[in-house]
Amino acid sequence: VSRMTARHALQTLALEGYLYRHPRRGTYVAEPRLRFSVGSFTHNMTEAARAPGAEVLTAATVDPDPVVAEQLRVPAGAGVHVLQRLRSAMGEPVAIEHIQLSAARFPDLLDHDLAGSLWDLLRDVYGVIPAKADARVLAVALDRFEAEALGVKTGSPALVLTRTVFDAEGGVVELARDVYRGDRTEFEVTAPVEGQEA
């Protein structure tokens, strides 16, 4: 093939995440992307035979803003647990979770070990089982804090998953904003097709 065709093919593969380029060192095959569905990070990584990890960055109980209080149905004067964790797969930083939960519904949550599956903790300690999530995925560029935590350059591409998680009775379990490395992750979505016309 011509040099121009080969260059175009390499550029296309790099854009699709199969290759990455290092200045002055060349082009290399990229690690396969980690596949996620909207749900438990721990479950997704366990299913993929990748050891999941969690490092607690912040954990505090705060006064909620009115919108969050309404969404979580927080009683007047009650607080909200705010939990931020760095999630990893096989020791590699992959995502930053920012989760908010009702302190009235989950008292003493922050006294438990938060380095494992949060959903397992909610089920085992509080008897709450997440059943459904409404979610949106947005493409963003990482700010300095997020980039440093994830071990990439500021401005690197990322996927932000915002989700509202419900229990079987329709109560809101948690509000979350998760930031995933764009070079290492992809999302699989299965949903009913709306409408009859193509």
Residue 121, Cβ density class (10 Å: 0-12 exposed, 13-18 middle, ≥19 buried):
middle
Are 163 and 176 spatial neighbours (Cβ–Cβ below 8 Å)?
Answer: yes
SS3 187: strand
What is the per-residue pLDDT for 36? Answer: 59
- pLDDT tens figures, 27-69: 766 666 556 556 666 666 666 666 777 899 999 999 988 999 9
Half-sphere exposure of 29 toward its Cβ, with a 13 Å CA cutoff?
2
Q: Is the dihedral of CA 177, 153, 182, 148 positive or negative?
A: negative
pLDDT digits (tens, 9 = 90+) for 92-125: 888 899 999 999 999 999 999 998 889 999 999 9
Amino acid at 106: F
How sure is the predictor about 2, in pLDDT bands with cuts at 50, 70 and 90? confident
Closest CA to 88 of 44, 137, 139: 44
pLDDT value of position 22? 67
* pTM strictly above 0.85: no
Q: Do residues 3 and 11 make contact, with C-beta atoms less than 8 angstroms apart?
A: no
Could you tell me the end-to-end alpha-carbon distance of the chain, in angstroms, rounded to an integer?
38
